[in-house]
Each structure stands twice: as C-alpha cells, then as structure tokens.
Structure 1
Amino acid sequence: MDIKSLLNQALKSDLVKQGTQKLSQGSSSLSGLSQGSNGKSSSKSTLGAFGAGAVGGGLLGALMGSKKTKKMGKKAAGIGGAAALGALAYKVYNDYQSKQGQTPNVEQAQFDENDSNHSVLILRSMIAASKADGHVDEEEMAKIEQAVENMGADYQLTKLVSEELHKPLDPSEIAQLATSPQQASEIYLASLIVADEQNFMEKAYLKELAKQLNLADEVTYQLEQQISG
C-alpha cells in the first residue's frame, strides 16, 4: 500500500471506525491479518480480508485516538479522497481570490491530482495535527509503527510515518511545505479533518498553523465550513 492509496481509502465514511476496531484488538491480531492461510506474510491477504480502507482508517484512527474517530469519520465523509481534498482546498482559495478581485497565478491555481506531492503533503499535515493534543507518546508511536508494518505498507509510507511521528511538533515546519497559497489551504484543510476544534491544544495548533500559512480569516472560515456539520 502506498501513501495515495491509504489516503484515498481512509478518507471515506465509517472506515476510520472499522479500522480502529481492528487495531484495538492488538498487534497480534494485526499480525495474523497480514498472513495468508499458509502462515506466510502477504499484504494482498491483508488488504483482501481486512480491506484497504479499513487499514488506512485504522492508521488514522490510531493517530488520532479512539475518542476522535467518530468525529473524524463524519468530517471525512464529505471529502472522498486525497485528490478531492486537494481540489476542494484549491477551489476555496481560488474563489477567495476572485472575490478579492485578484488575478490568480494560473499555474498555482490549477490542481494536479497526478502530482504525488499532494498525498505526502496531506499525510504529513494529518500526522502533525494528530499530535497536537499530546496523546501520541512513545508507546503509541510503537503501536502505530507496528500497524504500518503489518498492513503491508511500502517503504516510502513506512519511512514517512515513522519520521513524522518522531519529529517535534512544529506548525512552522508544516507551513513551509506549502509552495503556494492554494497548497497552504490544502494543508489547513487536511489538518482540520483530524484536529478537534473543541480541544484547547488542537485549537491553538490550528490557529498558529493558519498564521504560519499566512491564510486570511475568510479562507480558514470557508475551509472550516467544508467539513462542518
């Protein structure tokens, strides 16, 4: 499973809950799911019996903690996948520019769903936002890394998740990933999906992230409206 596949499957209704239920059974259960009937490791067996969406949802559920999975599932339901998330964020910012009477940079304004950087951007943003409340400690990191290994993730995904988990939380570093205002909107929207605005620490993180991304209040408001309710 690669990064794009994980995000496309995970950003769908109910999959976060399904995956988290499987992950809560423990690493031994996950290990069994990653083996075929002959006892040999098989990522295809994992995805066939478990479902790629539930695996992806399980990873994101583990990142966020069980208390958030229901809320995240509702937020993600209206998105549909990594490309849809990116396209939506781009549209919100481009609409804002038009209302301001600004002429957008044509190259920046166009969303390229075939650009793999979008998936990396979204996943890094989600992992960072998930750490904002401090629930991802060393023990939790080990569980998540084991889950990634058991799901048959490819090397790029395994390495990315591990690196992002162990980094100190720094909204300015995440903001620096954006190469355009549209990508800044994409980062903020991805972060909104996993962050709980009712949690003081996560709310503070989102506020600082928006500041570092240099997003106008109207843009952040419109992005928040996309996943509200």
Structure 2
Amino acid sequence: MANIDAIKLLGSILNSGVLSRGSGSNILGSVIGSMMGGGQSSSGGGLGDILGSVLGGGGAQQGAGGLGDLLGGNRAQGSGQSGAGGLTDLLGGLLGGGAGGAGLGGLIGAAMSQFGGQQGGQAAAHFTSSDHLPQEMDYQQATDQATLLIRAMINAAKADGNVDSEEQQKIIGKLGEVTQDEVEFVRNELAQPLDLEGFVRAIPQGMEQQIYTMSLMAIDLDTQAEAQYLHRLAQATQITPQVSNLIHQKFGAQPIYKT
C-alpha cells in the first residue's frame, strides 16, 4: 500500500461511477446529495444533481415492494444495533461518523477533492496531513477507511459472481488518471475470491453502517444473489433488518427485508 493513494483512488472510483451501476448510481447520488444538503434523491440539489447526470442515474429507486420478498422471513438477528432514532439520527451517524468512522460525508468529500485536484495534468501532492482533511479526520485513519470503502464496493461487485477479466479491464479502463500501482491494487482486489468473513474482521467498530452503505452503492439490487450478499453483510456486522431498511429508505433503494 506504500504507493497507493487510497483517498484519491476512492475519489476516482466515485467520480467515474465505475462500481456504481444501476440503482447503485442513484444511491451514490443520494449519498452525495444528502452530504451537500440535498434531499433523498439525486434531484435534491447540490453535487448529487451533477453526479446523477454524469452517471446517468436519474431519480432514486422506489423503496416499496419488489426485492423485499427475496429474503422472505429470513431475518437477521444482530443484537449490536437498534433501529431507534429514525432517519435523521441514522443519516447523521452515517455521514458524520461514529467511534470507528471519520464520517462518510467528510471522507467522500476529501476523496473527490483529492482526485479532482490531480486531473488535467496538475501535479497535486498527496494528502500527507490532516490539514487537507475535515477536522475530525486523521490522515492515516482516513487512508485506512478509504481502503476499506474501496474493498467494500469491490466485494459487493462480486456478489453475483466473480468479475471476469473482460469486466475487470472495463473497470480499470474507466478509473482515470491513476498510477500503475493503484491499477494493480484494484486488479488484485477484483481477482481475489470473495472473503466476506475476512473483510468483516477488518472493519473497525463504529464503521459498519458506512461499509454497508458503500456496498449498497456497488449493487444494482436486481438479483437474489445481491440481496443475499447484503443480508450476509448485515448479519456479519450486526446491522438489524430495521436499520438496513432505514438505510435503504433514506437513499431510495429497495429494502431487502419485509416490514
């Protein structure tokens, strides 16, 4: 990881939308729209509007019906979190961060700024101190979390099967101005077999909901395999069905649990 600028690489992935397909692109627009003061969907104003146009996302998906039936009565029994507090508290926790997270909003903003600053032939320096990051962020913590968020999106992209070499090349070809080391990092992550249990062990306490949200960005959520992956991730990180449904509702994604 010595030659990987994980913050910039995350910005590249988010800016290109290369891992946010279908409903995932709408969810990405919704997250950034909320972060910038917009509404639930990418049509709520701010950067979400721009991103929605770039990714071809359009409005948020309808949350009712549909894939809620895929998992049926197979409900997660995680005991580590409660659904109490509603959408406002949940969104504040996601974007503002918790004990283990520097905040999804701040990290996404830093990532997109870092990537944007290095485009067009500009030789912008890597972030090397907290001076370039939101106040609550430490550089190493932000780098570690950006790496986890990248891995979360790549893992979710594998939810309905391995990413073949042709698809890998398409993803890598859309990353923009990244280094060869960063290309190899993405290529290696895409080629690795999905190891959800190993990945979950690397998630710091307090960052579970941010990881879940980033995973949701990389899923089109139109197959049972994708719904099952989110179910397994929710169980492994002790996210209850109620909290999962609140996250999906906030960002305009179809729920995977019956209400």
* Shorter-normalised TM range: 0.5 to 0.7
Separation in structure 2 between the aligned mates of residue 78 and residue 60 of structure 1, nearest angstrom: 15
Q: CA RMSD in A?
A: 3.4
Counterpart pick for 1:208 among 232, 251, 254: 232
Tell me how far 1:109 sits from its aligned partner: 6.9
Separation in structure 1 between the aligned mates of residue 172 and residue 24 of structure 2, nearest angstrom: 21
Structure 2 residues without counterparts, runs of 5 or longer: 37-79, 87-97, 104-135, 254-259
Structure of higher RCO (CA pairs closer than 8 Å, 6+ residues apart): 2
Separation in structure 2 between the aligned mates of residue 97 and residue 156 of structure 1, nearest angstrom: 43
Change (3 A) 1:98 1:143: closer
Counterpart pick for 2:19 among 45, 60, 64: 60
Separation in structure 1 between the aligned mates of residue 169 and residue 182 of structure 2, nearest angstrom: 15
Tell me the SS of whatever aligns to 2:168: helix
TM-score by length of 1: 0.57
Change (3 A) 1:208 1:141: same
Structure 1 residues without counterparts, runs of 5 or longer: 12-52, 62-68, 85-92, 100-105
Separation in structure 2 between the aligned mates of residue 222 and residue 138 of structure 1, nearest angstrom: 36
Tell me how far 1:2 sits from its aligned partner: 4.1
Tell me how far 1:146 sits from its aligned partner: 4.8
> Between Structure 1 and Structure 2, how many residues are aligned?
161
Separation in structure 1 between the aligned mates of residue 137 and residue 224 of structure 2, nearest angstrom: 34
User: What fraction of aligned residue pairs are identical, expressed as a percent?
Assistant: 25
Change (3 A) 1:113 1:220: farther
Matched, 1:120 2:147: yes
Separation in structure 2 between the aligned mates of residue 156 and residue 94 of structure 1, nearest angstrom: 38
Cα deviation, 1:149-186, whole Å, max 9, x if unaligned, reads: xx331355323212211111122122122110x21111
TM-score by length of 2: 0.52
Change (3 A) 1:107 1:127: closer
1:144 paired residue number: 171
